[in-house]
Structure 1
Amino acid sequence: MTGPDEATAFRLAYVPGATPAKWVRIWHERLPDVQLTLLQLSGTEAVDALRDGSADAGLVRLPVDRTFFSAIPLYTETTVVVVPKDHVIAAVDQVTLDDLADETVLHPFDDVFDWEQPPGEPAFERPATTEDAIDLVAAGIGVLVVPQSLARLYHRKDLTYRPVTDAPESSVALAWPEEATTDMVEDFIGIVRGRTVNSTRGRSTTPGKADDKAKAKAEQKKQPRRPDAAGGRRKPPAAKKAQSAKRGKPRRRS
């Protein structure tokens, strides 16, 4: 963990398709004095940035090296196939990998899926990036299987996409070097996990009334209970005991 001289900026890498906006907004609300710098990088670049210390944490695609990184899986995306709007696949609600068997399926070098065998027929050559592959789909050269967030990121008016029900899926996680779990990393983990500002886990730079109440309650629990002289239950006062002994049956009126 960092000490009093820790950095006053937090660097968050994120891969294409990941959307950190909500968490960034909460960060600015809770830690307005700590600058948050966003680094949009490719999958390989994001992992390299975390390894060499040029990013503190990152929204990356699984899997990652768990001997070096700690990771919190956040969500798993729907897999879709991107096709021209006049393609036959555009007429159905969803497809399977078998439906792509006769299609030229583009396989860019930054493909996020770990295919044992990519579906469909291979293209003449592999595009360098997913964005390049989208341009080739628009040119009618083939179709492309990607996580839905990438289909939205590179959206074009002349293209559409449909879910592929049996394709591999891509999961996004918050990852950071395990040996560099700083206070600011803990702060961001708390935000991602939905902890409140006064949560007992993670830091709170502006303790509020909830903290004061919690401390008072904890101190109250520490106070020992006062037993009676005999160490047991307290006896009722003698006067009340005597008064209760005199009570008998009510007198009959003559």
Structure 2
Amino acid sequence: MAGGSGRRNGARRGTQGPKKPAAGKPAAGQPAPSRPRQKPAPQPVAPEPEPAESFALGTIPGATPGKWIDIWNERMPRTSLDLIPLSVAEQRDALIRGDVDAALVREPIDKTDLHVIALYDEVTVVVVSAESHLTAADELDAADLEGEVLIVPRDDVLGLTVDGTVAPRFDPPETTEEAIATVAAGVGVVIVPMSLARLHHRKDAEYRPLRDAPTSRVSLAWVADRTTPEVDTFVGIVRGRTANSSR
């Protein structure tokens, strides 16, 4: 009887089913369950900078920023554009001191520490009395000015010399406006960019283009390490970028 009991016990031990896999482990030959992918943590979004209350734009005599100001007012209604008149002599110092955020300047200008973008070139003209014989021509050459008294005001922006002209016997006028008034009275000629001739237009004075004379360039300038969002917006406007175009 004891032997029979042993066989039964052996039979029970030999017929046990396969072991169950431990919890958390896949059975042999079975693929591991895929783990759910974790979504990346959202990155913090930097807040948009508050627009400045104002943008100071320096402008030299003769510059005409009107069309750009109109576009600025449409795109930047919360930031006023303030025009600051500058003489050519002080244009760079005003930028470096921070008196203006950017400026329409007349070249040449020392470009150290500045970004400078050329905007347009102006024709050089000769302003003469309305009664002058020089008005008979539509354009003038340097040779046409031989023997004429060439008045160069203290705020001259061209620095031109013309062979054959005569220096005045009186002190130079302080401003271009005074020089043109002197010419209108019948004394001498003055050479200026066309915009200044138009700015100081008088009925008793006329101007004619001076052929082969160098042009005068007007540019936009600002201090390189002060490129604010407002400066960048104005740069985009003068370059013709639309409100939705990328920089």
**TM-score surpassing 0.5?**
yes
Tell me, in whole angstroms, the C-alpha distance in 2 between the residues paired with 1:168 and 1:107: 16
Tell me, in whole angstroms, the C-alpha distance in 2 between the residues paired with 1:7 and 1:52: 19
- Matching of residue 57 in structure 1 with residue 102 in structure 2: yes
Aligned position for 1:170: 216
Matched residue of 1:13: which SS?
Answer: strand
**Aligned counterparts, 1:76-95, within 5 A:** 76-95=121-140
2:195 to 149, 155, 164: 149
Shift of residue 168 of structure 1?
Answer: 2.1
Tell me, in whole angstroms, the C-alpha distance in 2 between the residues paired with 1:5 and 1:197: 18
Deviation by residue 1:2-53 (Cα, 9 ceiling, x = unmatched): x836632100000000000000000000101101100112112222211100
- Matching of residue 160 in structure 1 with residue 236 in structure 2: no
Tell me, in whole angstroms, the C-alpha distance in 1 between the residues paired with 2:108 and 2:71: 27
1:139 to 185, 191, 194: 185
Matched residue of 1:10: which SS?
Answer: strand
Aligned position for 2:116: 71
Shift of residue 157 of structure 1?
Answer: 0.6
| Matched letter for residue 92 of structure 1 | A
**Aligned counterparts, 1:1-254, within 5 A:** 4=49, 7-115=52-160, 117-119=161-163, 120-124=165-169, 125-201=171-247
Count residues with an aligned counterpart.
198
| Matched letter for residue 19 of structure 1 | T
| Matched letter for residue 11 of structure 1 | A
Matched residue of 2:150: which SS?
Answer: strand
Aligned position for 2:39: none
Contact 1:94 1:165 in 2 (8 A): yes
Aligned position for 1:222: none
Structure 2 alignment gaps of length 5 or more: 1-47
| Matched letter for residue 54 of structure 1 | D
Tell me, in whole angstroms, the C-alpha distance in 1 between the residues paired with 2:162 and 2:157: 12
Contact 1:107 1:118 in 2 (8 A): no
Contact 2:92 2:110 in 1 (8 A): no
Deviation by residue 1:107-152 (Cα, 9 ceiling, x = unmatched): 111111133x345111122111101101111121211110110000
Matched residue of 1:196: which SS?
Answer: coil
Tell me, in whole angstroms, the C-alpha distance in 2 between the residues paired with 1:144 and 1:63: 20
Matched residue of 1:105: which SS?
Answer: coil
Matched residue of 2:105: which SS?
Answer: strand
Shift of residue 86 of structure 1?
Answer: 1.2
Aligned position for 2:41: none
Contact 2:57 2:102 in 1 (8 A): yes
The TM-score normalised by the length of structure 1 is 0.75
The TM-score normalised by the length of structure 2 is 0.77
Tell me, in whole angstroms, the C-alpha distance in 1 between the residues paired with 2:146 and 2:223: 41
Deviation by residue 1:170-223 (Cα, 9 ceiling, x = unmatched): 10000111111111110000000000000111xxxxxxxxxxxxxxxxxxxxxx
Matched residue of 2:82: which SS?
Answer: strand
Question: Identity of counterpart residues, as a percentage?
Answer: 50
